[in-house]
Structure 1
Amino acid sequence: MGRWYTMLVLSLLEPAVRAANLTSHVNLFLGTQSGGNDFPGVARPFGIVKLGPDLYVSGTDSYSGYLSNGNFSGFSMMHEQGTGGAPKYGTVSQLPLVGDVSNPLSNITIGRSGADEASVGYYKAKTSEGTLVELSASAHAGIYQYTFPKDTTGNILVDVSHVLPSYRGQGLSQHYKGGNITIFHDGHYEGHGVYDNGWNRSPDWSIYFCGHFDEAPISNKTYSGTDAKGSVQQSSGHASSSSGSTRVGAVFTFKDTTVISRVGISWLSTEKACQNVENEIPEDTKFQSVVADAQSEWDSEVLSKVTTSNTNETTLELLYTSLYFMHLIPTNQTGENPSWTSSEPYYQDIFTYWDLFRCSTALMQVLQPVAYEEQIRSLIDIWRFEGYMPDARSSNYNGRTQGGSNADNILADAYVKGVRGAVNWEDGYKAMLKDAEVTPPNYPVDPMAPDSSTKEGRGALPDWLSLGYITPRFSRAVTRAVEYSCNDFGLYQVASGLKKEDDATKYLNRSRNWRNHWNANQTSLGFSGFVVPRNESGFIETDPLNDSGYWGDPYYEASSWAYSWASIHDMKKIIEAMGGDETVLDRLNTMFTEGASGSSGIIFDPTNEPMFNIPYLYHYINRQDLSVSQSRNIAKSYYGVGVSGLPGNSDAGAMQTWLLWNMIGLYPVTGQTTFLIHSPWFDSLTIDLGDGKHLNVTSKGGDGNGGGDIYVQSLRVNGKDWKKNWLTWDDIFVRGGTLEFELGESASGWFTGEVPPSPAS
Structure 2
Amino acid sequence: MAIPTQAQTGTRHSSLEDVDPFIGTAATGLPAPHGQAATWWWPKPQVGNTHPGATSPLGMVSACAYSGAYPTGYGLYGKNTQGVPEPIFGRLEASGFTHFQQSGTGMIRKYYNYVRLTPMIQPLDELGRSWALTDEEASPGYYAATLDTGIRCEITVGEKVAVHRYTYPASRSARAVVDLSCGGLTIDRSRTVPLRAQVEITGRGQAQGTVVVEGVPLSFHLEVDSPGWRQMLWHDRRLIDGGTRLDFDSIRHTTLRPFGLVFIGPATAGQSVEVRIGFSLRGPEQARRNLERESAAGLPSFDLVHAQTARRWASHLDRVQVEGGTPARRTVFGTALYHSLIKPCFADDESPFWPYGGPFAFDICTMWDIYKTQLPLLAAIAPDRAVDLLESLIRVCEEEGNFPIGYRMARGADRFFRQGSALAHTALADVHALGLGDLDWAWALVHMDDDLRRQYGEDYVDKGVVHPITHTLDLAFAHHCTAGIARALADEPLARELSGRSGNWVNAFEESTGLLRDSTFYEGGRWNYSFRLMHDMAARIRLAGGDAAFVAMLDSFFGRGAAPVRQPGVAPSAQEMAAGYALNRFEGLNNEPDMEAPWAYHWAGRPDRTAEVVHSALTWQFGTGPGGLPGNDDSGGLSSWYVWASLGLFPVAGQDLFLIHPPAFSRSVTQFSQGELIVECSGHVDTPISSDGLDGEPPVQYVQSATLDGKSLTGPHLPAHRLHRGGRLHLRLGPEPGSWGGSVRPPSLSDH
TM range (shorter): 0.7 to 0.9
Match of 2:383, as an amino acid? P
1:643 corresponds in structure 2 to 626
Distance change (3 Å), C-alpha of 1:18 and 1:342:
farther
TM-score normalized by structure 1?
A: 0.84
Q: Does 1:428 align with 2:450?
A: no
Distance change (3 Å), C-alpha of 1:347 and 1:760:
farther
Matches within 5 A, 1:64-463: 65-67=74-76, 69-86=91-108, 87-102=110-125, 104=127, 108-165=128-185, 167=187, 173-196=191-214, 204-225=215-236, 231=238, 233=240, 235-242=242-249, 243-244=251-252, 245-247=255-257, 248-256=259-267, 257-280=271-294, 285-300=300-315, 302-310=316-324, 312-397=326-411, 399-401=415-417, 402-419=419-436, 421-437=437-453, 439=454, 459-463=455-459
Q: What is the deviation of 1:138?
A: 0.9
Higher relative contact order (CA 8 A, sep 6+): 2
CA distance in 2, matches of 1:731, 1:99: 62
Gaps in structure 1 of 5+ consecutive residues: 1-16, 197-203, 440-458, 472-476, 522-527, 534-541, 543-553
Match of 1:246, as an amino acid? L
Distance change (3 Å), C-alpha of 1:279 and 1:674:
closer
Match of 1:237, as an amino acid? T
CA distance in 2, matches of 1:152, 1:232: 18
Q: Does 1:45 align with 2:57?
A: yes
CA RMSD of aligned residues (A): 2.4
Q: What is the deviation of 1:240?
A: 2.7
Partner of residue 689 from structure 1, selected from 662, 667, 672: 672
Matches within 5 A, 1:54-65: 54-56=66-68, 60-63=69-72, 65=74
Q: What is the deviation of 1:681?
A: 1.6
Q: Does 1:711 align with 2:702?
A: yes
2:748 corresponds in structure 1 to 758
1:7 corresponds in structure 2 to none
Match of 1:530, as an amino acid? L
Match of 2:718, as an amino acid? L
CA distance in 1, matches of 2:742, 2:562: 31
CA distances 1:185-211 after superposition (whole Å, capped 9, x unpaired)? 423111121222xxxxxxx22201111
1:662 corresponds in structure 2 to 645
CA distance in 2, matches of 1:39, 1:342: 33
Q: What is the deviation of 1:555?
A: 0.5
Q: What is the deviation of 1:110?
A: 2.3
Does the 8 A contact of 1:133 with 1:144 survive in 2? yes
Q: What is the deviation of 1:611?
A: 0.6
CA distances 1:593-651 after superposition (whole Å, capped 9, x unpaired)? 17959964671112111011111111011011111111121122111122122222111
Distance change (3 Å), C-alpha of 1:191 and 1:217:
farther
Q: What is the deviation of 1:567?
A: 5.3
Distance change (3 Å), C-alpha of 1:120 and 1:616:
same
CA distances 1:292-338 after superposition (whole Å, capped 9, x unpaired)? 221111112x1110123326322221222111111111111111111
Does the 8 A contact of 1:732 with 1:738 survive in 2? no
User: Secondary structure at the residue paired with 2:635?
Assistant: coil
CA distance in 2, matches of 1:589, 1:239: 65
Partner of residue 463 from structure 2, selected from 438, 448, 467: 467
User: Secondary structure at the residue paired with 2:95?
Assistant: strand
Which range moved further: 618-627 or 708-717? 708-717
User: Secondary structure at the residue paired with 1:480?
Assistant: helix
Distance change (3 Å), C-alpha of 1:45 and 1:339:
same
1:442 corresponds in structure 2 to none
Does the 8 A contact of 2:649 with 2:661 survive in 1? yes
CA distance in 1, matches of 2:100, 2:357: 25
User: Secondary structure at the residue paired with 2:749?
Assistant: coil
CA distance in 2, matches of 1:484, 1:597: 37
Does the 8 A contact of 1:161 with 1:178 survive in 2? no
Distance change (3 Å), C-alpha of 1:342 and 1:559:
same
Does the 8 A contact of 2:67 with 2:73 survive in 1? no
CA distance in 1, matches of 2:398, 2:71: 35
TM-score normalized by structure 2?
A: 0.85
User: Secondary structure at the residue paired with 2:611?
Assistant: helix
Distance change (3 Å), C-alpha of 1:337 and 1:643:
same
CA distances 1:204-227 after superposition (whole Å, capped 9, x unpaired)? 2220111111113532321223xx
CA distance in 2, matches of 1:596, 1:63: 37
Distance change (3 Å), C-alpha of 1:594 and 1:117:
farther
CA distances 1:655-675 after superposition (whole Å, capped 9, x unpaired)? 011011111111111111121
Distance change (3 Å), C-alpha of 1:311 and 1:359:
closer
Match of 2:380, as an amino acid? V
Matches within 5 A, 1:537-576: 554-566=520-532, 568-576=534-542
Q: What is the deviation of 1:183?
A: 1.8
CA distances 1:380-415 after superposition (whole Å, capped 9, x unpaired)? 222233322222111154522221120011111211
CA distances 1:453-474 after superposition (whole Å, capped 9, x unpaired)? xxxxxx2233212211124xxx
Does the 8 A contact of 1:224 with 1:240 survive in 2? no
User: Secondary structure at the residue paired with 1:338?
Assistant: coil
Q: What is the deviation of 1:70?
A: 4.5
2:736 corresponds in structure 1 to 746
Q: What is the deviation of 1:286?
A: 3.9
Does the 8 A contact of 1:55 with 1:62 survive in 2? no
Q: What is the deviation of 1:161?
A: 0.6
Distance change (3 Å), C-alpha of 1:109 and 1:99:
closer
Does the 8 A contact of 1:676 with 1:726 survive in 2? yes
User: Secondary structure at the residue paired with 2:515?
Assistant: strand
Q: Does 1:478 align with 2:469?
A: yes
Does the 8 A contact of 2:433 with 2:721 survive in 1? no
Distance change (3 Å), C-alpha of 1:66 and 1:291:
farther
Gaps in structure 2 of 5+ consecutive residues: 1-10, 28-46, 78-90, 568-582, 689-697
Does the 8 A contact of 1:65 with 1:79 survive in 2? no
Paired-residue identity, %: 26
User: Secondary structure at the residue paired with 1:519?
Assistant: coil
Does the 8 A contact of 2:71 with 2:111 survive in 1? no
Does the 8 A contact of 1:344 with 1:381 survive in 2? no
Match of 1:576, as an amino acid? R
CA distance in 2, matches of 1:154, 1:723: 70
Does the 8 A contact of 1:703 with 1:709 survive in 2? no
Distance change (3 Å), C-alpha of 1:113 and 1:54:
closer
Does the 8 A contact of 1:37 with 1:64 survive in 2? no
User: Secondary structure at the residue paired with 1:747?
Assistant: coil
Provide the aligned length of Structure 1 versus Structure 2: 671
